[in-house]
């Protein structure tokens, strides 16, 4: 049996209203979107060569989002994680634009009502910020809790989605 080919990983850096975004593609499919000072950002060496060619549609949809013309992303994703993490990340995509949910509510939504801490950890490891809207998850009292890109960016993204922030 021949060995599996090594995936081709490339990255690009694009400007946004919340700072430079590092986009990572694996075999041409978006695998990462990292904010500056991202808490769980992999080492730069793992991002591969700099090559913007696979990111045309990603950049177009991000521009539409930041212009207020897109409320949901429609992109293929290649997100590496455990089955539980992928379940949480899939559930994040169902949180409507401009709305929030708590870790406990998200845990209940995936059928694991007592796993709110594990949901929080999985949420924090989301490799595709903004597009998979982990910023829409808040504490049980509605307060802003941790965010890989920093609380201020979370506040800006939520304010933007509510119409309180204009870029």
- The 10s digit of each residue's pLDDT in 25-44 is 999 999 999 998 888 899 99
- Are 97 and 147 contained in the same domain? yes
In this predicted structure, what is the pLDDT of residue 141? Answer: 78
Measured CA to CA, the distance from residue 85 to residue 125 in angstroms comes to 8
Given a cut of 90, whether residue 155 has pLDDT beyond it is yes
Whether 1 is in a domain gets the answer: no
Which residues are tagged catalytic? 134
3-class SS of residue 160: helix
Asked which of 40, 66, 92 is the last residue of a domain, the reply is: 66
Distances (CA, A) of 17 to 31, 54, 99: 21, 22, 20
Q: Which helix (H) or strand (E) holds 32?
A: strand 29-34
Number of domains making up the chain: 2
Residue 53 domain boundaries: 9-66
If asked whether residues 43 and 99 sit together in one domain, one would say no
Q: Which helix (H) or strand (E) holds 64?
A: helix 56-66
The pLDDT tens digits of the residues spanning 109-144 come to 999 999 999 999 999 999 999 999 999 999 887 878
Query: What's the order of all strands across the beta sheet hosting 21-26?
Result: 29-34, 21-26, 9-14, 49-50
* The two structure tokens encoding residue 164: 């309180």
Q: Shortest CA distance to 138 belongs to which of 156, 160, 154?
A: 154
The answer to whether the CB of 38 falls within 8 A of the CB of 148 is yes
Q: Would you say residue 23 has pLDDT above 80?
A: yes
28 in any annotated domain: yes
Residue in the structure block whose two tokens are 């490799």: 127
CATH number, residue 156 = 1.10.10.10
Predicted structure pTM score: 0.92
Q: Tell me the CATH number at 38.
A: 3.30.160
Q: Is the dihedral of CA 103, 107, 108, 114 positive or negative?
A: negative
Is 4 within the bounds of a domain?
no
Residue 122 within any structural domain of the chain: yes
**Do residues 97 and 151 both lie within one domain?**
yes
Note whether residue 3 is domain-resident. Answer: no
């Amino acid at each position: 049996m021949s060995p599996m080919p090594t995936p081709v990983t490339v990255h690009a850096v694009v400007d946004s209203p919340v700072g430079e975004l590092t986009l990572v593609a694996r075999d041409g499919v978006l695998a990462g979107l990292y904010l500056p000072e991202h808490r769980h950002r992999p080492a730069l060496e793992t991002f591969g060569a700099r090559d913007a060619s696979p990111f045309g549609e990603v950049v177009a949809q991000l521009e539409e989002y930041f212009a207020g013309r897109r409320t949901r992303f429609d992109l293929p994703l290649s997100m590496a994680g455990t089955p539980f993490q992928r379940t949480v990340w899939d559930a994040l995509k169902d949180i409507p634009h401009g709305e929030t949910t708590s870790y406990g509510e998200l845990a209940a939504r995936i059928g694991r009502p007592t796993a709110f801490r594990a949901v929080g950890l999985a949420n924090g490891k989301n490799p595709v910020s903004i597009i998979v809207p982990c910023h829409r998850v808040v504490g049980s009292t509605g307060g802003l809790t941790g965010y890989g890109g920093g609380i201020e960016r979370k506040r800006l993204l939520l304010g933007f989605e509510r119409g309180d922030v204009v870029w």
